[in-house]
Amino acid sequence: MTTYTAPAVVAELLSGDTPVVLFGAGDLGVMAHYALTRLGVRVTCFSDGRAVKHGTTVRGLEVRAPEQLAELPGDTHVFLCGNYLESMTDRLRGMGFTRIHTCVDLLDGFDFTGSDTGMEPVFIERKIALHKRECLKAEERASEALVLKYLDVVVTEACSMKCQDCSNLMQYYTKPKHSDLDLLESAVDRIMDSIDGIYEFRVLGGEPFVNPRVHRVIDKLTGYEGVEKVVVYTNATIVPRGENLECLKNDKVVVDITNYGTHSRKHDELIEVLDAHGIANLSKIPVWTDSGRIKFVERSAEELDDMFQNCCVNDVLTLLNGKLYRCPFSANGTNLGAVPETSADVVDLTGDRAGAELRADIRRLYGRSTHLTACSFCNGRDYRTPRIEPAIQTRRPLPLV
């Protein structure tokens, strides 16, 4: 086990009375508050860019709007408790703050055993690792390294549920099919030959365990040396058996369960089976936004760029039917024929791209900061998008309009 060493800034905070702000009132903020409090540091307040958080309290502390931080002195210590690091840092520097810290050294290796954060150990570990991965991005860009944060690997278009508001657009598939695994494996091989590493493969569908051969994909993904985690997303309607269970017994694998209540009819049985076999897993109750409709809306380029830059999945690449897309909405919308395919929005791995050319194409797509064609058909997926009731079922696939 790694020996934890508190970052040097903690000693400075303990010896003075400079204000301490946690910029981000989500999971990372909660973890940072717990760690700092355990280390004896008094936190002044939280701050968050989401208006819905303003005026609320988290762990007994006020959540202030960023504009309210102007009341604090310029030597205030601000911890970035989120993964939009560049925009957060620019905003804080523009307000005159210079003592800005990430949470990597604070959280990495910290013992959260018995914490009152309300988070499972596997979830905490992933959150810290992903924050660490995000903090490395700037360094990698400077060094020309190409390491991906997430890559969605779609193994089927079929799902055991039919949610009318699914943000991955499963509700529009009239004849869903499983992915061609030979094409999928060839595409992943070529991607891995062209990049320097990846933090997390995300195996999904639809419902991945609908595909009886999903084990072949999971075994393939865990076999790459340059991969840290393989996360399998499931709605807890199917308990994997045989090879689909055996493939999960790998230290890289985490089963991420979305608990839809009565719809997740195998939830308790699934966790019991996974725990009995020592398979890492976590279960969460989802929060959905109104992001599952395909509808063209006329917007300016500035509005679309703003949507894209604030989207919660704008750092996710999606592999579907041999093509690499920048987000799951773009992937499935294009696959359904509802969104026009644009060459700048996709890397086609069914052709002959390889080597330096393919690396350049992946870098271009992954580093993109302007909107996609699909953004014009999307309602947005950020903190401004209205929340809705999750998992409302529809009997028939929805028509494409």
What is the SS3 string spanning 241-280?
Answer: CCHHHHCCCCCCEEEEEECCHHHCCCHHHHHHHHHHCCCC
DSSP 8-state secondary structure symbol assigned to residue 328: H
What percent of the chain lies above the pLDDT cut of 90? Answer: 80
Q: Return the SS3 of 294.
A: coil
How much is the pLDDT for 401? 74
Question: Does 240 have pLDDT greater than 90?
Answer: yes
Mean pLDDT calculated for residue range 124-130: 89
pLDDT for 325 = 98
Task: Kindly tell me if the per-residue pLDDT of 1 is higher than 60.
Answer: no
Query: Closest Cα partner for 28 from 132, 114, 113, 100?
Result: 132
More confident residue, 256 or 141: 256
d(CA 156, CA 181): 10
Please tell me the CATH code under which domain 136-388 is placed: 3.20.20.70
pLDDT tens, residue by residue, 16-68? 889 999 999 999 999 999 999 999 999 999 999 888 899 999 999 999 999 99
- Check whether 142 has a pLDDT greater than 80: no
Q: Retrieve residue 16's tokens.
A: 């003075």
Homologous superfamily in CATH for domain 8-124? NAD(P)-binding Rossmann-like Domain (3.40.50.720)
Helix (H/G/I), strand (E/B), else coil: 136? coil
Average pLDDT in the chain: 93
pTM of the model: 0.77
Whether the predicted pLDDT of 336 surpasses 50: yes
259-294 residue pLDDT tens: 999 999 999 999 999 999 999 999 999 999 999 999
Numbers of helices and strands, H then E, in the chain: 13, 16
pLDDT above 70 for 171: yes
Domain ranges across the chain: 8-124, 136-388
φ and ψ at 99, to 5 degrees?
-95, 80
DSSP, residue by residue, 97-135: --EEE-SHHHHTT---TT-SS---HHHHHHHHHHHHHHH
What is the pairing mode between strands 45-47 and 20-23?
parallel
Q: How far apart are CA 248 and CA 245, in angstroms?
A: 6
Residue 326 in tokens? 């920048």
Residue 251 has pLDDT above 60, yes or no: yes
Q: Residue 139: what pLDDT?
A: 66
Q: Do residues 161 and 207 make contact, with C-beta atoms less than 8 angstroms apart? A: yes
Residue 96: strand, helix, or coil = coil
Average pLDDT over residues 135-156: 82
